[in-house]
Amino acid sequence: VRHESSALPVVHHSKYVCDLPPNHRFPMGKFPRVLQCLLRDQVITEKQVWVPEIASKDLLSCVHTEDYLDNFINGKISEQEQRRTGFPWGTVLAAEVALQRGLACSTAGGTHHAFPSYGSGFCLLNDLAVAAKYTMNNSPNSPSTKRKVLIVDLDVHQQGDGTAFIFKEEPSVFTFSVHCGKNFPLRKQQSDLDISVEDGLEDKDYLSTEAHLPWLLETFRPDLVLYDAGVDPHWEDELGRLRLTDQLYQRDLFVLKTVVKRGVPIAAVIGGGYSRDIDKLALRHSIVHRA
């Protein structure tokens, strides 16, 4: 619990980054730049920054297999498995703070393609799944009753096919994905609600897909929403294939307002976004914090 500020909690750690080979496709440097951008533009102050602890093996094992974690932690992932992934986080803390304060955002997160026994698509560990399982199984009011978690995934790549797979038989978690149908992954998993859109979709038609959210909140009645605010639907994104503009702000504002006004806690992560211009990308990722 932090009492220094009652403003929006923003979760960040200096070790969100690690060294990658030169010209690697994943823009790892965006994570610290998002925080720098928010501080520079006075969207937040240092007092609003919450620092997560490193995720324990016990915590991660609620989603991932023991063999995969052992290999991952001890650096024994095979070359073939490394190719599939494309290469510390704070999503659990963001979820915990959201439950306490109503709303929280991370400067990273959204690694939704990781499966229980392997990583995929730049995703090594599935932070959304771990955060959902952790909060689902740690209800202080009634330990015998699971919290219900709604995962709203607006990254351009399907729901985390990993997230959808992990929760396909879990009634306490509802997975909702809006994604480009012809984009990665080639083999889709089935979310509880999938909205597949065509290449080249623009702002107006894309924003109309959000009409499903109020209905989901009314029918599923979640105790927590995890929101993947990926910016890869933007027209300038290198891996996106949609034609959205900075109207992503209206998307994020709608999601946050719709959830918050119903009194449901929401934790947001930044999700996917790909550009060789890291400063421009970080600014785009900061849209959800500004909203």
Residue 147 confidence (pLDDT)? 95
Q: Which residues are paired to 176 by β-bridges?
A: 152, 193
81 inside domain: yes
Q: Which residues contact 170 (CB under 8 A, 6 or more apart)?
A: none
104 inside domain: yes
**Cα–Cα distance between 98 and 90 in angstroms, integer?**
12
DSSP 5: -
4 inside domain: no
CB 195, CB 269: distance < 8 Å = no
Residue 83 confidence (pLDDT)? 45
What is the per-residue pLDDT across 152-171, written as a single tens digit (0 to 9) for each? 999 776 556 789 889 999 99
- In the chain, the number of structural domains is 1
71 inside domain: yes
DSSP per-residue letters across 24-69: -SS-TTHHHHHHHHHHHTTSS-GGGEE-PPPPPHHHHTTTS-HHHH
Which CATH number does the domain housing residue 80 bear?
3.40.800.20
Q: Give the residue numbers spanning the domain of 88.
A: 10-15+23-289
2 inside domain: no
3 inside domain: no
On whether the pTM is more than 0.85, the answer is: no
**Cα–Cα distance between 126 and 145 in angstroms, integer?**
24
The residue among 236, 212, 243, 241 whose CA lies nearest residue 285 is 236
Residue 106 confidence (pLDDT)? 93
User: What is the chain's pLDDT, residue by residue, as a tens digit (291 residues)?
Assistant: 666 788 999 999 888 776 666 666 666 778 889 999 999 999 999 999 999 888 888 998 999 899 888 877 776 656 555 444 333 447 888 999 999 999 999 998 888 678 777 767 667 788 899 999 999 988 776 667 899 999 999 977 655 678 988 999 999 999 999 877 555 455 656 789 988 876 878 888 888 888 899 999 999 999 999 999 999 888 888 676 787 899 999 999 999 999 999 999 999 999 888 888 889 999 999 999 999
219 inside domain: yes
For residue 185, whether the previous peptide bond is cis, meaning omega lies within 30 degrees of 0, is yes
The residue among 130, 118, 127, 165 whose CA lies nearest residue 271 is 127
CB 109, CB 127: distance < 8 Å = yes
Q: Output the six-digit token pair for 63.
A: 């989603």
What is the per-residue pLDDT across 195-211, written as a single tens digit (0 to 9) for each? 887 687 888 888 888 88
Q: What count of other Cβ atoms lies within 10 Å of the Cβ of residue 15?
A: 12
* Amino acid, res. 92: V
117 inside domain: yes
Residue 158 confidence (pLDDT)? 55
